[in-house]
Amino acid sequence: MQTIIASIIIFGLLIFVHEFGHFAAARLTGVRVLEFAIGFGKELLSWESKGTHYSFRLFPLGGFCRMLGLGEEQAEAQEKGNFQQKPLLSRFLVIIAGSLMNFLLGVVLFSLVYFLFLGVPQTQWAQIGEVLPGSRAEQAGLLPGDTILSIGGSPTDNWEAVIQQIHASPEKEISLIVQRDDQKISFTVVPAEEEGRGLIGIAPLYKRFMLMSSIGLGFTYTWFFGKLILVSLAQMVTGTIPADVTGPVGIVAVVGEVARTGLSNLLSLAAIISVNLGVINLLPIPALDGSRVIFLAWEAIRGKPVDPQKEGFIHFIGFTVLILLMIIISFQDISRLLF
């Protein structure tokens, strides 16, 4: 039950935020929104406002946004609010707004994780916040709260200086001068080697409820995972790494496992999935937002739009292929779970 509830909340939130991005951009640019729905299936509650039909539906998994003149919603050329008659820049904004909202959600979720749960690393100081059990640092006698004044005779004014000194000395004895309360104490420790770097098992001090620093980390990690997803996709396409794609079934299984480890991990996973959704939707694949961006770019180059019927047919073919791929991937996910 926990897996089902967590999956519904995460999938519902991610898709709703994506569709709300399209909705908000459409309203901003004057495109008429015919319908905005939260969920799918039978309507449970609905109302009309300013020419838009709003509804809450039976299955709370996301939603959709129908606009005049976009997709199957054909309209007369001069009909007010027709998407096709808006300036190119306005249409571009409406198309990419869904992914932009997914990136923004990633920033918000990562920021919440650092603000409420993990805290912001205080790297401007050289104070130890955590000593890992069984580590070389614990064996040497270092304690949380110790401030490292110098390593090997070189002053360590901040955490970066500490890490540089330790990383540069794998399996080599180093001497540390530490401030503990009112005492200065000398320690010797041999960093363990891991991937060519020295590690002794310490972490910096973390502080929670630091709003601006948490938001900064939110942007940093959203950018980091966005680049990581793009690089991974490129490596899979070129064959540098094996293609390992997970569909909705596999994601649900991962959500269930992560949900049992705590809310902070679940929020981090939701942030990563949101960034992934934003990136994937901007890929130039028919039926995704990225393909519509390509058509808009082609229109800008040639000075006139592509025939709507031809564009619609290409999107239909792409949508069909995506559905088939989703079925295949889901079958593979189920096979992994069962066997």
Count the alpha carbons within 13 Å of 329 in the hemisphere toward its beta carbon: 15
For residue 47, the cross-strand partners are 54
Domains in the chain with CATH codes: 2-119+210-338 (no CATH), 128-207 (2.30.42.10)
Q: Give 77-99 pLDDT, tens digit per residue.
A: 567 889 988 999 999 999 999 99
Does residue 314 contact residue 286 with C-beta atoms inside 8 Å?
yes
Residue 76 has pLDDT above 80, yes or no: no
Q: Give 97-113 pLDDT, tens digit per residue.
A: 999 999 999 999 999 99
Known catalytic residues? 19
40-57 b/e with 16+ CB inside 10 Å = b?
A: eeeeeeeeeeeebebbeb
Q: Give 291-308 pLDDT, tens digit per residue.
A: 999 999 999 999 888 877
Q: The whole model's pTM is what?
A: 0.88
